């Protein structure tokens, strides 16, 4: 057995360590949408997590400096869209700062509560926000699932090593 060197566990690791480790963690890709003062907003998220079945709750993280944060901070509802491997371009559009996320290249419609619903996704949910929990420079958003559709086409899109990938058999 190899001895472990004395570690100073009172200091926090660097943000670079966290990023490096999570680049190795494959995650599903979602787009979160909401209605803002000037129209629809949205962003790509890999932090989507199922929290509870009873009641049906999920969570996602959003940076407080993100362009979508003001709308998410004020909205009662959000749309959660699970992307398929055929939607790498859509994921990249919603991840890119300054992109025209709801331009002609994005197929979408106004859904329940006015929330933008993206077309051709694997699944989508309308969720009611129940809490926004401070978490460093982010907020952890807890949302209750109100309705949705899980009958979309394709296989899941994954994010790994800083790139979007399809699922391999």
Helix (H, G, I), strand (E, B) or coil at 104: coil
Question: How are strands ordered across the β-sheet holding 163-166?
Answer: 27-28, 157-160, 163-166
- The Cα 119–Cα 22 span in angstroms is 29
Residues 72-119: tens digit of each pLDDT: 999 999 999 999 999 999 999 999 998 999 999 999 999 999 999 999
Report pTM. 0.90
Angle at 61 between CA 57 and CA 63, to 5 degrees: 150
How confident is the prediction for the chain on average, in pLDDT?
93
Q: Which residue has the tokens 């491997």?
A: 85
Q: Percent of the chain beyond pLDDT 70?
A: 96
pLDDT tens digit string along 6-40?
677 778 888 888 888 888 888 999 999 999 999 99
Domains delineated in the chain: 27-156 (2.30.110.10)
């Amino acid at each position: 057995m190899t001895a472990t060197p004395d570690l100073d566990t009172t200091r926090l690791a660097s943000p670079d360590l966290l990023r490096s480790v999570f680049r190795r963690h494959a995650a599903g890709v979602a787009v979160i949408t909401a209605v803002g003062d000037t129209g629809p907003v949205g962003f790509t998220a890999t932090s989507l997590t199922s929290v509870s079945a009873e009641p049906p709750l999920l969570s996602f993280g959003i940076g407080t400096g993100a362009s979508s944060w003001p709308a998410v901070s004020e909205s009662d509802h959000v749309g959660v869209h699970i992307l398929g491997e055929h939607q790498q371009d859509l994921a990249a559009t919603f991840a890119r700062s300054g992109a025209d996320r709801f331009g002609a290249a994005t197929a979408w419609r106004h859904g329940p509560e006015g929330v933008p619903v993206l077309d051709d996704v694997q699944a989508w949910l309308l969720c009611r926000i129940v809490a926004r929990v401070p978490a460093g420079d982010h907020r952890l958003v807890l949302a209750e699932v109100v309705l949705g559709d899980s009958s979309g086409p394709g296989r899941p899109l994954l994010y790994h090593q800083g790139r979007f990938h399809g699922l391999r058999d």
